[in-house]
Amino acid sequence: MSASFVYEWGYSLAEPCRAKFAIEPQSGGHRSWILISREDGHGTTAFAISVHMALIKDTRFRSIQWFTDDERKNGTAVGHSLPY
C-alpha cells in the first residue's frame, strides 16, 4: 500500500516552501522508500537534515539510508547514512 502527502509552510515568504512525501513499500514488506520531492526552489540540505532527525527519533524507522534519485533509479544497494 502506497501513500503520499504534501507539506507546505512559510506562507510569509515570496514563494512558500513545499515538499511532497511518497511512501512506497518494497517487495517483502520489510522495507519502504520515503521519496521526498522539493520543486519549490528552496534549499534542500537543511530540510533533509530536519527530516533525518525526525526519523531517527522514531523507533519505527530503522536502518535509514539516503539515496540520490540516480542511485535509487540505478538500484544502488547501499545508501548514505546521512542526507548530506
Per-residue pLDDT tens over the stretch 16-75: 899 999 998 887 768 888 899 988 888 888 999 999 999 999 998 888 999 988 998 898
The pLDDT score that the predictor gives to residue 1 is 76
Query: What is the spatial distance between Cα 46 and Cα 4, in angstroms, rounded to a whole number?
Result: 21
The pLDDT score that the predictor gives to residue 10 is 92
Tell how far CA 12 is from the center of its chain.
24
28 DSSP assignment: T
Query: What is the spatial distance between Cα 64 and Cα 83, in angstroms, rounded to a whole number?
Result: 10
Strand order from edge to edge, sheet including 17-25:
3-9, 17-25, 32-37
pLDDT in tens, 54-69: 999 999 888 899 998 8
